[in-house]
């Protein structure tokens, strides 16, 4: 019988492992929201199938789906991908799923954050979001894992950890008035330390330009391994991303991590800039919260990849840079398999491969 605990992971001796540590599975959620995914979600569904198929080469995948879409998803997905009926409001498993913590005795538990659709009634992307907010607990119950209901609003894509005490985030997101306006930076840090057993938070000023999540860190950087970061880089002085990447580099190169290491930064080229086309905008239902109009700048980033059991699944976004990024990732991750998936459809919905996946650690 699983339960929601009233202690904290730190009190109980649990810590959040890094993404490069061994994984038992990856969870995803099926896209069908017609005011976010064009043409009834059909192009996005095909892309989610491609992502799930690539991940399943090294890690078991579970896809959650509404009752309404179950038969369609089962028909489209390979038989080795587990399909599970579960209600959601959209399909960003990174942000709605649990952040898992583990201990030294081979146990794991989930951390269930409050979710408010990236901004609640202030600037959230949709309402209601109650189904999404219930997903993390449902995942934990399905897997037979106890969970903690954390006392703050937080999305999984707004944090990266190195597994050795360091957490990376952005001021733009975690200090945004639409998340936890009554809490100071110090109070938010205290909650993160208590619920993920980290020792140090490295605050990057801003996330990627025009990112509708209020600047999720996972769209700007990725933790390669402790003391090493991959950062989205822009060389065009006239691009609004140019100063954002430089400020991030400045922070990363002047800070030390929880273990006192100086941080090595690998620069990933920025794709594009990429914009929504007339055709792409034409297939999306009107919405109050989400900007899906022709000419809107897309928050494209190669940093939004997934690490799963010595396998990198990264987004193909720009023919001018896709191969260069594959070579860079192969150099940064020696011995890892590198798979590219054409991910523009995910980008059109507001995120990428990291955003639609959530890892379950192996214990």
Question: How far is Cα 304 from Cα 211, in angstroms, rounded to an integer?
Answer: 12
What per-residue confidence (pLDDT) applies to 293? 86
Cβ neighbours for 198, distance < 8 A, ≥ 6 positions apart: 15, 16, 161, 165, 166, 167, 192, 258
Calculate the dihedral angle through the C-alpha atoms of 95, 97, 98, 104, rounding to the nearest 10 degrees.
-100
Q: Is the pLDDT of residue 58 over 80?
A: yes
When pLDDT is cut at 50, 70 and 90, the band that residue 201 belongs to is very high
pLDDT tens by residue, 218-251: 999 999 999 999 999 999 999 999 999 999 999 9
pTM above threshold 0.85: yes
Question: How far is Cα 235 from Cα 245, in angstroms, rounded to an integer?
Answer: 9
Tell me which fold the domain 4-361 belongs to.
Answer: 3.75.10
Half-sphere exposure of 104 (CA within 13 A, CB side): 2
Please name which of 338, 298, 293, 302 lies closest in space to residue 321, comparing C-alpha atoms.
302
Please name which of 51, 29, 148 lies closest in space to residue 95, comparing C-alpha atoms.
29
Over residues 208-218, mean pLDDT: 97
pLDDT tens by residue, 286-338: 877 777 789 999 999 999 999 999 999 999 999 999 999 999 999 999 999 99
What per-residue confidence (pLDDT) applies to 1? 87
Q: Is the pLDDT of residue 176 over 80?
A: yes
**Catalytic pick from 140, 173, 234, 355?**
355
Calculate the alpha carbon distances from 223 to 160, 167, 246 in Å. 7, 10, 18
What per-residue confidence (pLDDT) applies to 287? 75
Whether 355 is a known active-site residue: answer: yes
């Amino acid at each position: 019988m699983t339960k929601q605990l009233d202690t904290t992971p730190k009190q109980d001796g649990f810590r959040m492992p890094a993404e490069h540590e061994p994984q038992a599975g990856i969870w995803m959620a099926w896209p069908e929201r017609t005011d976010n995914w064009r043409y009834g979600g059909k192009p996005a569904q095909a892309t989610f199938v491609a992502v799930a198929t690539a991940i399943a080469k090294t890690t078991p995948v579970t896809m959650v789906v509404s009752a309404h879409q179950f038969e369609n998803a089962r028909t489209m997905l390979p038989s080795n991908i587990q399909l599970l009926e579960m209600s959601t409001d959209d399909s960003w498993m990174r942000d709605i799923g649990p952040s898992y913590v583990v201990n030294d005795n081979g146990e794991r538990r989930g951390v269930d954050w409050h979710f408010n659709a990236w901004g609640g009634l202030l600037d959230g992307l949709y309402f209601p979001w109650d189904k999404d907010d219930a997903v993390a607990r449902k995942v934990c119950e399905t897997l037979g894992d106890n969970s903690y209901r954390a006392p703050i609003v937080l999305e999984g894509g707004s944090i990266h950890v190195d597994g050795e005490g360091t957490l990376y985030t952005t001021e733009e997101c975690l200090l945004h008035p639409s998340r936890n306006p009554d809490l100071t930076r110090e109070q938010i840090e205290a909650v993160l330390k208590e619920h993920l057993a980290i020792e140090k938070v490295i605050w990057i000023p801003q996330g990627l330009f025009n990112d509708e999540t209020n600047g999720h860190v996972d769209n700007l950087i990725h933790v390669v391994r402790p003391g090493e970061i991959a950062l989205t880089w822009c060389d065009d002085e006239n691009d609004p991303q140019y100063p954002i990447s430089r400020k991030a580099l400045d922070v990363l190169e002047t800070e030390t991590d929880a273990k006192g290491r100086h941080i090595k930064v690998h620069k990933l080229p920025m794709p594009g800039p990429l914009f929504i086309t007339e055709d792409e905008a034409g297939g999306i239902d009107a919405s109050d919260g989400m900007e899906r109009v022709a000419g809107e700048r897309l928050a494209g980033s190669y940093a939004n990849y997934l690490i799963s059991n010595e396998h990198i699944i990264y987004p193909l976004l720009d023919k001018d840079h896709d191969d260069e990024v594959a070579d860079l990732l192969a150099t940064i991750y020696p011995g890892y398999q590198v798979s590219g998936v054409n991910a523009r459809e995910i980008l059109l919905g507001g995120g990428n491969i990291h955003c639609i996946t959530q890892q379950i650690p192996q214990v």
